[in-house]
Amino acid sequence: MGSMGRTFPDGFLWGAATSAYQVEGAVDEDGRVPSIWDTYTHTPGKIDGGGTGDVACDHYHRWREDLDLTASLGLNAYRFSLAWPRLFTPGERRGREHYDRLIDGLLERGIEPVVTLYHWDLPQALEDRGGWRDRDTVERFAEYAASSFDAFGDRVGWWLTINEPWIVGLLGYLHGLHAPGYSGDVRGEVTVFHHLLLAHGRAVQEFRRSGRAGRIGLAPNLIPHYPASDDPADVEVTWASDGYVNRWFLDPVFRGSYPQDQRERYETLLGPLEFIADGDLETIAEPTDYLGVNYYSPRTMQAVPGDTPWPWRVVVADDVETTGGFTDGVPRTEGGTPIVPSGLTDLLLRLHHDYCGPAGDLPIMITENGAVFGDAPGPDGLVRDERRVAFIHDHLAALLDAIEQGVHVAGYCHWSLLDNFEWKLGYEQRFGLVYVDYDTLERTVKESGRYYGRIAVANELEPR
């Protein structure tokens, strides 16, 4: 029981995370306008199982029950996103009033709101005018951010600008797996990366201008990289891929420049990156107050010389068996994602040294970390998701390893509070601490939810 008695810093935030489109439903209510995800999910064949976010977890109506559950677990933070489509129409107050009630409901229950401005639900009207490819969307986002600080900034202490910019470009413009559903468009991908980073910087500027107290930061998904072998070619592409996935976002935000190696790779492919205007990097580098980190899994890299645009591949064992959760001795989630808690420690130490300032004192918040396990209620009504319990234990132990080595971590938000609409993968993949029956919308706290809640209340790691 080596982990017994390992405590977290005082005031640590223990949260669970959701995003608007994944949980709210109520897509036609209170003046909400369509988003790119409504369009995408209603295009036949796009979503596994044909799911849409039309109802999702009905969180828009059941938020009181969900906040009561969150409070009953003992959590003191809740990360959620504002639906831009609910706040898009000038003069429409109902969306704003909804989030007023939600935020007040959190505060009444002693739960700190952690609010994401953009978790992928771009209003379709903006997509029709070019979406994130169009620089004008950046200014529309800055206006939306400013009005959100004005509306909610008196009660929100933790803001996140953009969720996972790399995934937005990768899945939305290169692989056609997420809205708006473009494929093979590297120019679109890189343009969108830049505009999302610029939108982040503009939101930070608007936040400062608002004079609101509180903290603001970016929520990228960050992936620790390891070479598949000690072959120098593998080691080289490991660094190169890190440039694509991590440094392309971290360097401009924290150092005011794009990493030279990756910039050259893009320029070789696309010619001059003319969408990067004078002054943009200063805007992107507007100082932030903390860094959100979404951590799921590492990448193991192997060189594939000559392959373009990326001369590498991510190594995954050929015979990945996902339903049992294990293959080749490497534990995996039911989604096939390798479970590597030590990757979180490595990632945090690296961020601490490379990006958190000379004194390493910029706080980090784990804004997402979680896993797919499909456990359902047994005959006794209990959801015994031991694998999620183990996942939580092992990742929190890895987090403590980083904290004990000096990394300043302000909190941890598990993905997710509820089983919910997992984008392209529909409703098949369950990430929740709370089970959702999609026929009745009944909620059942899983064993992992109780376990996680006890850790939160004790502020101390409990053996599993």
Q: How far is the CB of 264 from ligand FCB (least distance, A)?
A: 28
DSSP state of 8: P
Q: How far is the CB of 219 from ligand FCB (least distance, A)?
A: 8
Figure out which of the listed residues 80, 423, 427, 451 binds ligand FCB, where binding follows CB under 6 A.
423
- Concatenated DSSP letters of 145-169: HHHHHHHHTTT--EEEEEE-HHHHH
Q: Which helix (H) or strand (E) holds 26?
A: none
Q: Which is nearer to ligand FCB, 199 or 276 (CB)?
A: 199
- Concatenated DSSP letters of 335-370: TS-B--HHHHHHHHHHHHHHHSTTTT-S-EEEEE--
Q: Which is nearer to ligand FCB, 205 or 337 (CB)?
A: 337
Residue closest to 82 by CA, chosen among 117, 130, 120 = 117
Which among 24, 164, 286, 422 is annotated as catalytic? 164
Of 30-38, 161-169, 298-306, 455-463, the window that binds ligand FCB (rule: CB under 6 A) is: 161-169
Which among 24, 112, 368, 422 is annotated as catalytic? 368
Amino acid at 279: G
Q: How far is the CB of 66 from ligand FCB (least distance, A)?
A: 16
Figure out which of the listed residues 189, 286, 368, 385 binds ligand FCB, where binding follows CB under 6 A.
368
Q: How far is the CB of 308 from ligand FCB (least distance, A)?
A: 26
Which of 337-357 are b and which e, b meaning 16 or more Cβ less than 10 Å from the residue's Cβ? bbbbbebbbbbbbbbbeebbe
Q: Which is nearer to ligand FCB, 52 or 221 (CB)?
A: 221
Phi, psi of 451 (to 5 degrees): -60, -50
Cβ atoms of 67 and 111 within 8 Å: the answer is yes
Torsion angle defined by CA atoms of residues 290, 294, 295 and 299, in that order, rounded to the nearest 10 degrees:
-110
Spatial distance between the Cα atoms of 76 and 456, rounded to a whole number of angstroms:
8
Of 128-136, 159-167, 281-289, 456-464, the window that binds ligand FCB (rule: CB under 6 A) is: 159-167
Of 56-64, 122-130, 160-168, 232-240, the window that binds ligand FCB (rule: CB under 6 A) is: 160-168
Phi, psi of 34 (to 5 degrees): -65, 150
Figure out which of the listed residues 41, 52, 161, 163 binds ligand FCB, where binding follows CB under 6 A.
163
Which value, in Å, is the radius of gyration of the alpha carbons in the chain? 21
Spatial distance between the Cα atoms of 201 and 218, rounded to a whole number of angstroms:
9
368 assigned to active site: yes
Strands 443-445 and 434-436: antiparallel
Q: How far is the CB of 200 from ligand FCB (least distance, A)?
A: 15
Amino acid at 406: G
Figure out which of the listed residues 112, 164, 385, 394 binds ligand FCB, where binding follows CB under 6 A.
164
Using CB under 6 A as the binding rule, the residues of this chain from 19 to 78 that contact ligand FCB are 19, 22
Q: Which is nearer to ligand FCB, 368 or 401 (CB)?
A: 368
Spatial distance between the Cα atoms of 260 and 444, rounded to a whole number of angstroms:
50
245: helix, strand or coil: helix
Q: How far is the CB of 180 from ligand FCB (least distance, A)?
A: 16
Spatial distance between the Cα atoms of 180 and 176, rounded to a whole number of angstroms:
8
Q: Which helix (H) or strand (E) holds 460?
A: none
334 binds ligand FCB (CB under 6 A): no
Q: Which is nearer to ligand FCB, 177 or 270 (CB)?
A: 177
Q: How far is the CB of 460 from ligand FCB (least distance, A)?
A: 27
Which x/- pattern, by CB under 6 A, does the window 260-299 give for ligand FCB? ----------------------------------x-----
Of 137-145, 163-171, 279-287, 385-393, the window that binds ligand FCB (rule: CB under 6 A) is: 163-171
Q: Which is nearer to ligand FCB, 391 or 423 (CB)?
A: 423
Residue closest to 323 by CA, chosen among 307, 315, 312, 334 = 334
Cβ atoms of 436 and 418 within 8 Å: the answer is yes
Q: Which is nearer to ligand FCB, 181 or 360 (CB)?
A: 181
Figure out which of the listed residues 312, 373, 431, 452 binds ligand FCB, where binding follows CB under 6 A.
431
Q: Which is nearer to ligand FCB, 127 or 164 (CB)?
A: 164
Which x/- pattern, by CB under 6 A, does the window 209-228 give for ligand FCB? ------------x-------
415 binds ligand FCB (CB under 6 A): yes
167 binds ligand FCB (CB under 6 A): yes
Q: Which is nearer to ligand FCB, 336 or 360 (CB)?
A: 336
Query: 304 in the Ramachandran plot: left (φ > 0), alpha (ψ -120 to 50) or beta?
Result: beta
137 binds ligand FCB (CB under 6 A): no
Cβ-proximal residues to 361 (8 Å cutoff; 6+ apart), any chain: 408
Q: How many residues bind ligand FCB (CB under 6 A)?
A: 12
Figure out which of the listed residues 112, 242, 251, 422 binds ligand FCB, where binding follows CB under 6 A.
422
DSSP state of 29: S
**CA 19 from centroid of its chain's CA atoms:** 9
Other Cβ atoms within 10 Å of 9 Cβ, number: 13
Active site residues: 164, 368
Q: Which residues bind ligand FCB (CB under 6 A)?
A: 19, 22, 163-164, 167, 221, 294, 368, 415, 422-423, 431
